[in-house]
Structure 1
Amino acid sequence: MAFIQKFMASLVPTVKADEEEAELVDPQKVIREECSLQPKCAKLQDKLTTCNDRVNSRKQTAETCLEEILDYVHCVDHCAAKTLFSKLK
């Protein structure tokens, strides 16, 4: 068994990451967070929060916040799409 492991190790090099290496960050998350802070998207997020608070305060309601969610996500995605692909390798 040890022979097979040594043989495979000689064929397939192993790469060990440095423990001091920085944690990888998803550029999409960073860009989306920045976009959510822009005034237009922040305004839509406030509307979504208001709707969520209103719906959650009631025990029975047919109201959903689907329109507010779609508007907010569309705003953030539209903003992020402008710069996201320039960050990809």
Structure 2
Amino acid sequence: MCPKEEEEAQEEQEEFKDPKTAIDEKCAETAHCAHARKELEECTQRVEGNPDTKETCAQELFDFWHCVDHCAANQLFAKLK
């Protein structure tokens, strides 16, 4: 690649914004995902407050992202070209 092509490719990458990121952020704040978000936040506080715990909050994290993905799915596929 010549320097000009490299510069153009880099500019294209900088301009691209993944629509999934914005959709995920909106979905994470919806009432639909509020319960899962609350459970994750409570678990995180428990774990951070007790360094001797073996709890990982993995299930709460999976539940939260499942909710976000479920919310985002319809919106995301509508944006595909």
**Range into which the TM-score falls when normalised by the shorter chain:** 0.7 to 0.9
What displacement does 1:86 show? 1.4
Measure, in 2, the Cα distance between the counterparts of 1:34 and 1:59: 32
Residue 86 (structure 1) aligns with: 78
Give, as a single letter, the amino acid of the residue that structure 1 aligns with 2:75. T
Are residue 49 (structure 1) and residue 41 (structure 2) matched?
yes
Residue 69 (structure 2) aligns with: 77
Residue 39 (structure 1) aligns with: 31
Structure 2: runs of 5 or more not aligned: none
Measure, in 1, the Cα distance between the counterparts of 2:70 and 2:29: 13
Measure, in 1, the Cα distance between the counterparts of 2:68 and 2:21: 11
Structure 1: runs of 5 or more not aligned: 1-8
What displacement does 1:64 show? 1.7
Post-superposition Cα deviations, 1:21-66, rounded to whole Å, max 9, x if no partner, equal xx43211011111111111212211210110111111121111211
Larger Rg: 1
What displacement does 1:83 show? 1.5
**TM-score, normalization by structure 1:** 0.70
Higher helix share: 2
Measure, in 2, the Cα distance between the counterparts of 1:37 and 1:86: 20
Identity, % of aligned positions? 45
Measure, in 1, the Cα distance between the counterparts of 2:8 and 2:68: 37
Q: Does the residue aligned with 2:71 lie in a helix, a strand or coil?
A: helix
Residue 60 (structure 1) aligns with: 52
Structure 1 runs of 4+ with >4 Å offset? 14-17
What displacement does 1:16 show? 4.8
Aligned residues: 76
